[in-house]
Structure 1
Amino acid sequence: MDDIVPDVVDAVPAGTVKVTYNDGLQVDQGNELTPTQVKDQPTVEWSGLEGKSNLITLLMVDPDAPTRQDPKYREILHWAVVNIPGSNIDPSAGYPLASYIGSGPPEGTGLHRYIFLVYHQQNKIEETPTISNTYSTRAGRFNFSARDFAAKHGLGEPIAANYYQAQYDGYVLIRNKTFTD
């Protein structure tokens, strides 16, 4: 987790987010997964808030666009769900600010980090509309900042995180054809 500090967060969060893709593939502190393996929305779980009436924010960002050496679009927002009750990440239980989009690093840009961050909300977040998964770049996804979003909504530091790395595979071309912007 150290290599997401200071690019995305100021300190390593105490907790770990459990992220599971199809076929039981799990995100594990920087393991490498392919865009094909992560094309569908994962299940996400965390612990430590059982029995409490808390609201949670989940963010997924790529800080390495277009490359880790030249991150001029840092960060790209891949997923954002707010107002999630307790430890339930069912998208219908929270409000999706940005629908899930899997990894899509351009060919020849090397490994990109895909970071999941969980924040404890003090108050309900009132933001609309949702960014559709058919909008890739210009509709609030490029140059997103998890730090700025957290500051704007009084979220503080994330309580849990996890990440994987991915580089280009053939699915990226299929994924990109679904975008309308």
Structure 2
Amino acid sequence: MEAIVPDVLDVAPPSGKLEVKYPTGVVVQTGNELTPTQVKDEPSVSWAAESTDALYTLLMVDPDAPSRAQPTFREILHWAVVNIVGNQLASGDTLAEYVGSGPPEGTGLHRYIFLLYRQSARVEEDMRIGKRTRDGRFNFSVRKFAAKHGLGQPIAGSFYEAQYDDYVAIRNKEFAK
């Protein structure tokens, strides 16, 4: 997880406590390379909750947009779910619907980072970003979001890397103009 410090976080979260599995059968293993085709659909995410009524936030970002060498859109928000009760992801409030990887052609590997936070209180946030919407996704800041909502440091995290494949062009056509 040190590969995301200092670009996204100041301190690496513990790895190995967050399981991310895609419907295609691939599993995120810190730093493994997956294809946009493999990760196009929303994954299942699991962790050991402290209690059945504990609240959690799950974020997924790409800090390498449009490329790792020139990340002028750092970070792109790919997924945000808050107020998750226990480890029941479906119980949470989705702020940004899941969008799979879409690294531009010729920009090399991008990191796709999952971060889990333990909330001390409910998160109240008006942001609602649909699956086909780009607005609100560019120049997101994990640090600022966590500070705004008093989330502290993430309690778990993982990431994979992906580069362009032919699915990216199909995915990009799905966005509203």
SS at match of 1:149: helix
The equivalent of 2:67 in structure 1 is 67
Deviations 1:117-145 (A, max 9, x none): 00011111111242001112xx1100000
2:166 is matched with which residue?
170
Question: Following TM superposition, by how much is the alpha carbon of 1:88 offset from its aligned partner in structure 2, in angstroms?
Answer: 1.3
Q: Share of identical aligned residues, percent?
A: 60
Letter in 1 for 2:133: Y
Matched residue count: 176
* Cα distance, 1:48 vs structure 2: 4.6
Q: Which amino acid aligns with 1:6?
A: P
Please state how far the C-alpha of 1:79 moved relative to its aligned partner: 0.1
Q: Secondary structure at the match of 1:150?
A: helix
Higher mean displacement: 16-25 or 27-36: 16-25
Question: Which position in structure 2 is the counterpart of 1:24?
Answer: 25
Q: 1:125 aligns with which of 104, 123, 126?
A: 123
Counterpart in the other structure of 2:146 = 150
Amino acid at match of 2:75: E
2:84 maps to which residue?
84
Is 1:11 aligned with 2:33?
A: no
SS at 1:165's partner residue?
strand
Which secondary structure does the structure 2 equivalent of 1:67 belong to? Answer: coil
State the SS of the aligned residue for 1:168: coil
Q: CA RMSD in A?
A: 1.1
Paired amino acid for 1:134:
R
CA 179–23 in structure 1, closer or farther in 2 if over 3 Å, else same: closer
Separation of aligned partners in 2, 1:151 and 1:66: 25
Aligned to 1:41: 42
Distance in 1, matches of 2:110 and 2:57, equals 23
| Number of the residue aligned with 1:179 | 175
- Say whether 1:109 aligns with 2:110: no
What does residue 57 of structure 1 align with?
57
In structure 2, distance between residues paired with 1:33 and 1:115: 13
| TM-score (ref. length: structure 1) | 0.94
**1:7 partner SS:** coil
Q: What is the Cα deviation at residue 42 of structure 1?
A: 0.1
Contact 2:39 2:100 (C-alpha < 8 Å) held by counterparts: yes
Q: How far apart are the structure 1 equivalents of 2:12 and 2:48?
A: 17
| CA distance in structure 1 between the aligned counterparts of 2:127 and 2:136, rounded to whole angstroms | 11
Q: Give the C-alpha shift of residue 14 in structure 1.
A: 2.4
What is the letter of the counterpart of residue 98 of structure 2?
Y
Give the secondary-structure state (helix, strand or coil) at the position aligned to 2:89.
coil
Q: CA deviation at 1:33?
A: 0.3
- Which structure 2 residue ranges, 5 or more long, are not aligned? none
